């Protein structure tokens, strides 16, 4: 799937411990956006280590702990014409690696899952609202993950 005319994915990899395929993750982000009908949406991806994600989590959520992914929705409906910025995602590659090892799958698969999870949050899905919302979001995550495998 080609990017929509207004789609942009900005990527910054600030961690150096693990090799990640940022062009592939950017491409997968575009596929996820397109699958969600977000053909004019843009976002930024920030790949960090545990120390950086803990700092962000503390600063923005008042939780002094690591996490796997943080979503920062922007809701920029009055941006430049043709530019709809969903927001920013920060992913801890350290945490993703640990989770991948614990679950017995690749770092690439875990990073894809975290992209899906984060982008769903940017588009309004929230598993913390209610058990029903959580069930719907987890089903959507599985659907998107299966779609990207094929």
Q: pLDDT, tens digit, for every residue of 7-29?
A: 899 999 999 999 999 999 999 99
Contacts 24+ apart (CB under 8 A), 18-21: 18/93, 18/94, 18/97, 18/107, 20/47, 20/93, 20/107, 20/111, 21/108
Residue 128 resides in a domain: yes
Residue-level pLDDT at 78: 46
Residue 84 resides in a domain: yes
Residue 34 resides in a domain: yes
Q: pLDDT, tens digit, for every residue of 39-95?
A: 889 999 999 999 999 999 999 999 999 999 999 998 655 445 556 889 999 999 999
Per the structure, the complete domain to which residue 105 belongs is given by 9-149
Residue 4 resides in a domain: no
Sheet of 41-48, strand order: 9-13, 41-48, 84-92, 69-73
Residue bearing the bigger pLDDT, 150 or 69? 69
Residue 124 resides in a domain: yes
Residue-level pLDDT at 1: 42
**CATH code for position 132:** 3.40.390.30
Residue 131 resides in a domain: yes
* For residue 112, pLDDT beyond 70: yes
* For residue 98, pLDDT beyond 70: yes
Residue 60 resides in a domain: yes
Q: How many domains does the chain have?
A: 1
């Amino acid at each position: 799937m080609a990017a929509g005319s207004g789609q942009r994915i900005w990527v910054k990899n600030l961690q150096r411990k693990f090799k990640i395929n940022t062009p592939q993750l950017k491409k997968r982000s575009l596929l996820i956006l397109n699958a969600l009908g977000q053909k004019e949406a843009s976002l930024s991806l920030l790949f960090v280590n545990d120390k950086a994600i803990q700092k962000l989590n503390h600063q923005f959520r008042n939780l002094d702990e690591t996490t796997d992914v943080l979503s920062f929705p922007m809701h920029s409906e009055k941006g430049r014409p043709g530019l709809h910025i969903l927001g920013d995602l920060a992913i801890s590659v350290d945490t993703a690696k640990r989770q991948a090892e614990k679950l017995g799958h690749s770092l690439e698969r875990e990073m894809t899952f975290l992209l899906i999870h984060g982008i769903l949050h940017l588009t309004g899905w929230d598993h913390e609202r209610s058990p029903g919302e959580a069930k719907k979001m987890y089903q959507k995550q599985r659907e998107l993950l299966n779609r990207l495998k094929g």
